Amino acid sequence: MPEVRTWQLASGAAVVGLALAAGAVAAAGPWDSGQRKAERQWAAAQSPVGGVHHERRRPEGPAPSAPGVLAALGAPRAATVSAPKAAADLAKVLAPLLGDPGLGTVRTACVVDVATGRRVYEKGAADPMTPASTIKIATSVAALSALGPDHRIPTTVVASEDARSLTLVGGGDPTLDSAGLRTLADRTARALRDRGVTRIRLAYDTSLYAGPLRHPIGPNVNISPVSALMVGEGRVDEKSTGAATRSGDPAGDAARAFGRLLTERGVASSAAPAPGRAAAGTKPLARVLSGPLSALVERALTNSDNDIAEALARQTALATGEEASFAGGERAVTGQLKRLGLPLAGARFADGSGLNREDKLTAGLLTTLLIRAADPAHPELRPVLTGLPVAGFSGTLQSRYTETSPGTGLVRAKTGTLSGVNTLAGTVVAPDGRLLAFAFLAANTPSREAAQPALDRLAAALAS
């Protein structure tokens, strides 16, 4: 995978105050838990598609991020104008774009040269703002630093001594799907047959998580009750994406589905599954594991997945000895970012997903998080970069850039959208080969339709 490796070398080399040898970068890893590979394969197989408002034809071949990014970052940097002159020129370009009325009445911005750590543009970079889903960058950094990219979340079946009482124990895996539940049922039924057991009592345990199940926004199509046990993210239609009808009882639904699967495999239940804690003396009988945390982070960032993001905050809490709740997640994320030496003045992490308007971040903190994710001293944070959507190509930026935009394929960024709040934070390759980290946050915006193109023009300007 030469393209992937070249991108990985480049993004790893662009760090604060350091020039990293290629051999050291290659050894640093982990570089790819699937997202970049999936991008290349998806692009190669892509046929013309129709958008919501108009049809557009996508280019064939490698991911559009590959040619521009790799050529720019792989080549020696050409001589450039002085830093003050470059910053002044950039200000002349960005200031009018930041004044777009589509960005509402409050706008902040920060642009940093990742290789030097020097801010090349800022406006209110230290002012706390509601970040919407760009807070997922912070949640992801905290989770990866606390647990490591290889951590996997278990879902377990434990049994009494005689194996006639089973408890399905949720470990907090938001990505458990029907296929995974079937695998768990297969393993459980096999273990029971080996013991001659064909009839059981089934309970389910969600006690790993504490506090309110519901997000403070209440029942919402963008997030399920935050439970330690769920299948298909609690979606009524597991195949649905984005906003979707959600179950009010994802744990109960998962347990009932598991009971049905056991029945199909010759293990009958004496009653409907009941909630409860695993009794003392129970022993592990079977389990399945989530994908590596690196893959969960990439999925959360690419698709702006709220359910995964809230699970990441709770897993961070568990890893740091905090209660796995909204409040415990806030303490855990804050603590992890403090350990990384990040500037947290004015920051608040009321949730992991960004749905809570009480969340606060600064543009300066967002760019610092991105810089830290490129730091070779923290290779465990690399999935934060590889998980960012690619402009005009993947995730929440798939339909936001046209093929003629100078930002297409060069901008990688996390989007954020609430009513009256629109944000964008990520990385972009400048024409002279510099990797820039940027964050633009806007409040009191008139509409998503007005704000998003204005943010996209800001990021595209950095690429042009």
145 counts as catalytic: no
The answer to whether residues 66 and 8 touch, using CB atoms and an 8 Å cutoff, is no
Instruction: Say if residues 157 and 166 touch (Cβ distance below 8 Å).
Output: yes
| Cα distance from N-terminal residue to C-terminal residue, the chain | 28
Q: Which of 136, 353, 360, 405 is an active site residue?
A: 136
CA distance 358 to 347: 10
Q: Is 78 exposed, middle or buried (0-12, 13-18, 19+ CB in 10 A)?
A: exposed
Q: Which two tokens stand for residue 165?
A: 């009482």
Which residue in 160, 227, 304, 394 is the catalytic one? 304
Mapping DSSP onto H, E and C, the string for 333-356 reads HHHHHHHCCCCCCCCECCCCCCCC
Other beta carbons within 10 angstroms of residue 191's beta carbon come to: 17
304 is catalytic: yes
Catalytic residue among 11, 33, 65, 133: 133
Angle at 428 between CA 427 and CA 431, to 5 degrees: 155
User: Exposed (0-12), middle (13-18) or buried (19+): which is 371, by Cβ within 10 Å?
Assistant: buried
133 belongs to the catalytic site: yes
Determine the Cα–Cα distance for residues 335 and 320; give it in Å rounded to an integer.
9
User: What sign does the CA torsion over 59, 382, 384, 212 have?
Assistant: positive
Determine whether 265 is exposed, middle or buried from the number of CB atoms within 10 Å of its CB (0-12, 13-18, 19+).
Answer: middle
User: What's the number of CA atoms in the CB half-sphere (13 Å) around residue 38?
Assistant: 15
Catalytic residues: 133, 136, 304
